[in-house]
């Protein structure tokens, strides 16, 4: 059916998203940005990120807003007869069931791959979990910071003489979410060829190990364990963030040209610094001299010189500066969407620039809880009003039973 479809490369694809927090919502949002119709399945009380701590816009939390554009909100209590029936009916007309619940939850709810493939043999399921569907860690809980620690990522992040640090962004959630979106896109292509669906698992742990590509290769090749280097590189110097007279700059691979730019030509022929191996052997001496040169001017002045000399360098900017950056605005890397309760919300945009993607004007803001339930059930599934009302009555009764059970336990 064409109800609730969008334009874009994935237009005509329907995804049922059973998700929470970041690891699920971010990936399904990327698929929605590409045109998939993402139906966000939530329990009557709503998903946890709707009530997260922090700032809000018209009652919607920042944590929820940033991961849930281009989706429809559908409330289903899978503990009720009609809630389960609605989900199964949706599976019949959908392509993907996407989740980031702990292993075993989907099976306990009766919506795991082995159950759903009997309803729709072409269904694709994608589950993002901490450690995968089996193994010694399978029952352990996981969060972004847990994955960052177990994967080894935190062991290489931070200053050499400081404690291990987590990456500033939630890469333990964002990484597997992106891998999940990529896997789903590949599975959709494969389904076109074979007519078959499949089951996909994306562990957080494996995702971060994949992103540690050259650190792992360094260890396997040398036996040496990568250590914390601040913003430095395992084998390149100079490289990283450097303080200036005012502000910080970053430098990529730039030797020896940068020596001339900073007025230290003599360093190029100095035997202590002439080769990469020599610079590593005399790393502390090199850094002391190089940093002294950079302290002679401000960051903005160095960056102007770098651009003249085609040196890969840039400013270290704060988030408010990034939001006003000319290139960021030119790329439309941030977007403004009409808020469902009035006004506008600003969000980080979609970095995938390709023909046929959805125009920003077609984007929809993150939905209110239950905003599209009646629309989906009536227009997509053809449920009559009386059946929808019975579903709501079952949900209300089930909620009262759960509340009474909880109070009895207390």
In tens digits, what is the pLDDT along the chain, a chain of 410 residues? Answer: 445 667 789 999 999 999 999 999 999 999 999 999 999 999 999 999 999 999 999 889 999 999 999 999 999 999 999 999 999 999 999 999 999 999 999 999 999 999 999 999 999 999 999 999 999 999 999 999 999 999 999 999 999 999 999 999 999 999 999 999 999 999 999 999 999 999 999 999 999 999 999 999 999 999 999 999 999 999 999 999 999 999 999 999 999 999 999 999 999 999 999 999 999 999 999 999 999 999 999 999 999 999 999 999 999 999 999 999 999 999 999 999 998 888 999 999 999 988 767 677 789 999 999 999 999 999 999 999 999 999 999 999 999 988 887 777 76
- Verify whether residue 99 is a known catalytic residue: no
Neighbours of 14 (CB within 10 A): 20
CB within 8 Å of 320: residues ≥ 6 apart: none
Contact 380, 4 (CB under 8 A): yes
Neighbours of 322 (CB within 10 A): 14
Neighbours of 59 (CB within 10 A): 9
- Asked whether the whole model's pTM tops 0.85, one would answer yes
- Give CA–CA dist 384/379, Å, rounded: 9
Give the pLDDT score at 146: 98
Give the pLDDT score at 4: 60
CB within 8 Å of 409: residues ≥ 6 apart: none
- Give CA–CA dist 29/27, Å, rounded: 5
- Give CA–CA dist 172/339, Å, rounded: 29
Give the pLDDT score at 5: 67
**Secondary structure, 3-state, the chain:** CCCCCCCCCCCCCEEEEECCCCCCHHHHHHHHHCCCEEEEEECCCCCHHHHCCCCEECCEEHHHHCCCCCEEEEECCCCCHHHHHHHHHHHHCCCEEEECCCCCHHHHHCCCHHHHHHHCCCCEEEEEECCCCCCCCCCCCCCHHHHHHHCCCHHHCCCCCCCCCCCCCCHHHHHHHHHHHHHHHHHHHHHHHHCCCCEEEEEHHHHHHHHCHHHHHHHHHHCCCCCCCCCCCCCCCCCEEEECCCCEEEECCCCCHHHHHCCCCHHHHCCCCCCHHHHHHCHHHHHHHHHHHHCCCCHHHHHHHHHHCCCCEEECCCHHHHHCCHHHHHHCCEEEEECCCCCEEEEECCCCCCCCCCCHHHCCCCCCCCCCHHHHHHHHCCCCHHHHHHHHHHHHHHHHHHHHHHHHHC
- Give CA–CA dist 179/201, Å, rounded: 10
Q: Pick the catalytic residue: 112, 173, 277, 370?
A: 173
Give the pLDDT score at 361: 78
């Amino acid at each position: 059916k064409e109800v609730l479809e969008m334009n874009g490369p994935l237009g005509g694809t329907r995804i049922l998203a059973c998700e929470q927090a970041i690891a699920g919502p971010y990936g399904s949002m990327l698929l929605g940005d590409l045109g998939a119709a993402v139906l966000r399945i939530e329990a009557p009380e709503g998903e946890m990120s709707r009530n997260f701590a922090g700032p809000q816009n018209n009652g919607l939390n920042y944590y929820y807003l940033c991961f849930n554009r281009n989706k429809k909100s559908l409330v289903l209590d899978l503990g009720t007869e009609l809630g389960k029936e609605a989900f199964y009916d949706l599976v019949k007309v959908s392509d993907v069931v996407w989740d980031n619940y702990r292993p075993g939850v989907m099976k306990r709810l009766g919506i795991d791959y082995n159950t759903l493939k009997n309803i729709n043999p072409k269904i694709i399921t994608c589950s993002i979990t901490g450690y995968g569907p089996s193994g010694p860690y399978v029952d352990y809980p996981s969060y972004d910071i847990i994955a960052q620690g177990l994967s080894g990522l935190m062991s290489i992040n931070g200053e050499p003489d400081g404690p291990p640090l987590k990456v500033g962004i939630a890469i333990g959630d964002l990484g597997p979410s992106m891998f999940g979106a990529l896997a789903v896109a590949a599975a959709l292509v494969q389904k076109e060829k074979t007519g078959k669906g499949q089951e996909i698992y994306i562990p957080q742990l494996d995702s971060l190990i994949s992103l540690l590509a050259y650190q792992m290769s360094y260890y396997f090749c040398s036996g040496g364990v990568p250590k914390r280097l601040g913003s430095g590189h395992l084998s390149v110097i100079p490289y990283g963030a450097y303080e200036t007279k005012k502000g910080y700059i970053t430098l990529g691979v730039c030797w020896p040209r940068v020596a001339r730019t900073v007025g230290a030509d003599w360093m190029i022929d100095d035997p202590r610094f002439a080769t990469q191996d020599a610079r590593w052997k005399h790393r502390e001496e090199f850094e002391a001299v190089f940093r002294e040169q950079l302290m002679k001017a401000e960051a903005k002045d160095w960056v102007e010189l770098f651009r003249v000399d085609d040196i890969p360098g840039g400013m270290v900017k704060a988030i408010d500066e990034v939001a006003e950056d000319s290139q960021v605005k030119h790329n439309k890397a941030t977007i403004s969407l009409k808020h469902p309760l009035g006004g506008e919300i600003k969000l980080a945009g979609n970095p995938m620039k390709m023909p046929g993607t959805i125009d920003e004007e077609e984007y929809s803001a993150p939905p209110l809880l239950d905003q599209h339930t009646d629309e989906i059930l009536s227009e997509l599934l053809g449920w009559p009003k009386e059946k929808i009302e019975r579903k709501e009555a079952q949900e209300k009764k089930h909620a009262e039973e759960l509340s009474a059970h909880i109070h009895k336990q207390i």
